[in-house]
Amino acid sequence: MRLEHVVTAAESGRQIKTILRGAMKVSAALMRRAKTGGRISLNGADVFVTAPAAEGDILVLEVPEEPCSVAPEADEAEIVYSDEWFFALNKPAGQFTHPTGRVNTGTLLNLALSIDPAARAVNRLDRDTSGVVLFARGAWAAALGAKLDFEKEYRALVFGVPQEGEISLPIAREAPHALRRIVSPNGAPSLTRISVLETDGRASLVALRPVTGRTHQLRVHCLAVGCPILGDGLYKTPESAALSRELGITTQALHARSLAFTHPVTGGRVLISAEPEREFFKKYKL
């Protein structure tokens, strides 16, 4: 990875580390790596980060990417966004975002690495949730991506007809389960905005906008208001399970439809969207 910056008049006299951390948006961790395994140069010559810079100097940072133990796997992928620093894929339901202890092939990251060998996932989705996953092109972009404030919108098919508005219920881990979450007064504050797009009385297509980002938040909140996401094997009621079977929905009907953020490099507003591919979503107008 190579970053180049021409020192401005306002930056003249400042230490190189100040310019790296400021205008060049280099994290402290990345700067440490550059000092030990990369190169920091000023006008082509190696330089200490405490040295001052002058107007017109060309400051270059070269940081080698850390080797990735995940093997790239070429396959068909729906690329829904791409620029010099990021790209996004439409993840199918049933696919892991990252390798796990039991699965190290066939994940979305394996596929992303065949698109860019330095790819790093910025956000993630549950295995059975489909939709937009953003990847950074290298360590520098990943550090910027980690600070992004996302606006997310999901589509879900839920049991019944939920009340529109806000679901503000705290969420905690359900002991002794490692995975399952519950609504609990001792949990972390959690807020989801919900609106009904289509309904036939038994099931509804809803838009879900998480304001907070708790694990399984949307699934827990929908269950808590009596309208579990159809096909969800973990957060369900007997009635939602029966309707899921009737409709042939075997994976949770949850899709990350859009991701919006202010681009950390260009400053422009980015909106990435992806349509769901699963057949049961086509019963309702999106």
CA nearest neighbour of 9 among 62, 70, 69, 53:
53
- Written as six digits, the tokens of 172 are 């905690």
pLDDT at 137 (0 to 100): 96
User: Residue range 207-223: average pLDDT?
Assistant: 97
Distances (CA, A) of 68 to 19, 99, 110, 118, 125: 29, 12, 10, 8, 21
- Written as six digits, the tokens of 127 are 């295995």
CB 283 within 8 A of CB 265: no
User: Residue range 219-240: average pLDDT?
Assistant: 97
Q: Is residue 273 included in any domain, yes or no?
A: no
Q: What CATH number does residue 142 fall under?
A: 3.30.2350.10
Separation of alpha carbons 192 and 234, rounded Å: 19
Q: Kindly state the percentage of the chain with pLDDT values over 70.
A: 98
Its pTM stands at: 0.89
Instruction: Identify whether residues 161 and 220 lie together within a single domain.
Output: yes
Q: For 47-101, how does the pLDDT look when each residue is reduced to its tens digit (9 = 90+)?
A: 999 999 999 999 999 887 877 888 999 888 899 999 999 999 999 999 999 988 7
| Cβ-proximal residues to 139 (8 Å cutoff; 6+ apart), any chain | 1, 30, 33, 63, 65, 66, 118, 120
Instruction: Identify whether residues 86 and 28 lie together within a single domain.
Output: no
User: Residue range 218-236: average pLDDT?
Assistant: 97
Helix and strand tally (H, E) in the chain?
A: 6, 16
Separation of alpha carbons 258 and 131, rounded Å: 8
Instruction: Identify whether residues 235 and 191 lie together within a single domain.
Output: yes
Q: Is residue 44 included in any domain, yes or no?
A: yes
| Number of structural domains in the chain | 3
User: Residue range 166-184: average pLDDT?
Assistant: 92
Catalytic member of 57, 126, 128, 232: 126
- Total residue count of the chain as it appears in this document: 286
Instruction: Identify whether residues 128 and 158 lie together within a single domain.
Output: no
Instruction: Identify whether residues 58 and 17 lie together within a single domain.
Output: yes
Range of the domain at 30: 2-62
126 is a catalytic site residue: yes
CB 158 within 8 A of CB 230: yes
Tell me: pLDDT of 282 over 60.
yes
Distances (CA, A) of 162 to 191, 276, 286: 15, 21, 18
- Give residue 284's pLDDT band: very low, low, confident or very high (50, 70, 90): low
Instruction: Identify whether residues 73 and 52 lie together within a single domain.
Output: no
Q: For 9-61, how does the pLDDT look when each residue is reduced to its tens digit (9 = 90+)?
A: 999 999 999 999 999 999 888 888 888 877 899 999 999 999 999 999 999 99
- Give residue 159's pLDDT band: very low, low, confident or very high (50, 70, 90): very high
